[in-house]
Amino acid sequence: MRATHATTRSALHHLAARTDEGVTTVTVSSTTVPPSPPTSPLSMDGHEQVVHCFDRTTGLRAIIAIHDTSLGPALGGTRFFPYSSDDEALADVLRLSRSMSYKNALAGIPHGGGKAVIIGNPATDKTPELLRAYGRFVESLGGRYVTACDVGTYVQDMDVVAETTRFATGRSPENGGAGDSSVLTAYGVFQGMRAAAQHVWGEPTLRGRRVGIAGVGKVGRVLAGHLVEDGAQVVVTDVNSAAVSALLATHPSVETVGDVAALVRGDLDVYAPCALGGALDDDTVEVLKARIVCGGANNQLVIEGDGGTADRLVAKGITYAPDFLVNAGGVIQVSDELRGFDFERAKRGASAIFEHTLEVLRVADERGESPAAAADHIAEQRMAAGSPTIWLPQP
């Protein structure tokens, strides 16, 4: 869940009714959005459908969660992870699939939110047979859920999953897919950062600004390249020295610091978390000097909801470009792949993150709330304006 991410389907319909009545502005505040129903076998935390999968031949155990299909078939990756219990796996898949509804709605793609988890150790349990068995479960949903890569699953895995389902995206170019999505993810983050710069400094450029990137893996490395090209002063850190060396080989002007703690204490104009989740804890917000936070990492806010990290950032005068808004380039890419991948078309989609971010920051200012809360409300309004009935496979 993000700032709220708590709206139930009935609340979305309430919003829809208001839209029908001609209300064009977002009118629901976080305090009036009803909380999610408690997680129980039937309420499923507000999800439309949750499918528990077991394949007796391969031992596959998976959960597919479809949160909301008011904007189209659910789209979201498959996480392959050694959860310590089924309850932990269920809680994770429900949280992740709900987040996808918001991300997809904000990205303006014709998809609802869903996600899947495969319970197991990807290093030891992943076999082609198990992935094919998983693909059959995805196929059984007739397109209501479209899968892609996530933690523990890769482009090559989606190639195998696609052997048994038509509803796998994020495949390799050799198999008709778009390949690695981090290029457009990084491009989208850069667009979000340009928009935040426009909002804060009046110019859509990072020229002359000092930008700190934590994590220069697939996304951070490409982002660094965009920033150098734009004329920014880039400083990075990564626990993997090989990742830093690879970046310096192509961009020798990039500076390095020892760790994230040193990075966030530095004189930054922009902080770009591009490693793991939980980047914005209380200690980080406390010492951060940057005026903008905008990065590719998922789930950056440690304390979500009213009074949480997003509000603390506002109180410190830091403009936060919500992670699920600016890192949507990857999902825009896999969504495009479903139509027959066209890189330029997908790049245009990711370019729109610039306008989307400007809109969110403007609405946040107008409503006097955090950008995370504003992004939630815009996503909820879009879902409310979608279909009131579940998406069904097309004949």
Binding-site entries for NAD(+):
215-220
Using the minimum distance from each CB to ligand NAD, give the nearer residue, 308 or 330: 330
User: Catalytic one among 103, 115, 289, 347?
Assistant: 115
The yes-or-no answer on residue 289 being catalytic is: no
Of the pair 46, 112, the CB lying nearest ligand NAD is at 112
Q: Which single residue brings its beta carbon nearest to ligand NAD?
A: 217
Q: Which stretch binds ligand NAD (CB under 6 A): 82-90, 106-114, 227-235, 270-278?
A: 270-278
Identify which of residues 284 and 381 has a Cβ nearer to ligand NAD in the complex.
284
Interacting residue with ligand NAD among 104, 298, 309, 357 (CB under 6 A): 298
Burial class (CB in 10 A: 0-12, 13-18, 19+), 258: exposed
Min dist CB 356 to ligand NAD, Å, is 15
Q: How far is the CB of 329 from ligand NAD (least distance, A)?
A: 7
Contact 306, 30 (CB under 8 A): yes
**One-letter amino acid of 41:** P
The residue count for the chain: 395
Q: What is the largest CA-CA distance in the chain?
A: 60
Look up residue 360 and give its two tokens: 């969110």
Amino acid present at 334? V
Residue with smaller CB distance to ligand NAD, 51 or 276? 276
Listed residue (378, 359, 271, 358) closest to 4, CA to CA? 378
Return the closest-CA partner of residue 333 out of 176, 160, 180, 225. 180
Residue 189, SS3? helix
Nearest-approach distance from CB 300 to ligand NAD, in angstroms: 9
Interface with ligand NAD (CB under 6 A), residue from 17, 23, 239, 287: 239
Name which of 11 and 338 has its Cβ closer to ligand NAD.
338
297 binds ligand NAD (CB under 6 A): yes
Contact 238, 262 (CB under 8 A): no
Question: Near ligand NAD by CB under 6 A, which window of 40-48, 59-67, 85-93, 294-302?
Answer: 294-302
How far apart (Å, rounded) are the C-alpha atoms in residues 213 and 193? 12
Q: Other CB atoms closer than 10 Å to residue 287's CB: what's the count?
A: 10
Name beta bridge partners: 149.
78
- From the list 158, 274, 346, 372, which residue makes contact with ligand NAD (rule: CB under 6 A)? 274
Site for ligand NAD in 178-237 (CB under 6 A): 181-182, 185, 214-220, 237
Neighbours of 127 (CB within 10 A): 13
Query: Is-contact 280 341, C-beta < 8 A?
Result: no
Among 240, 250, 348, 365, binds ligand NAD (CB under 6 A): 240
Closest approach of ligand NAD to the CB of residue 140, in Å: 27
**Contact call for residues 129 and 87 (beta carbons, < 8 A):** no
Contact positions vs ligand NAD (CB under 6 A):
181-182, 185, 214-220, 237-240, 243, 260, 274-277, 296-298, 327, 330
Q: Write out the catalytic residue numbers.
A: 115
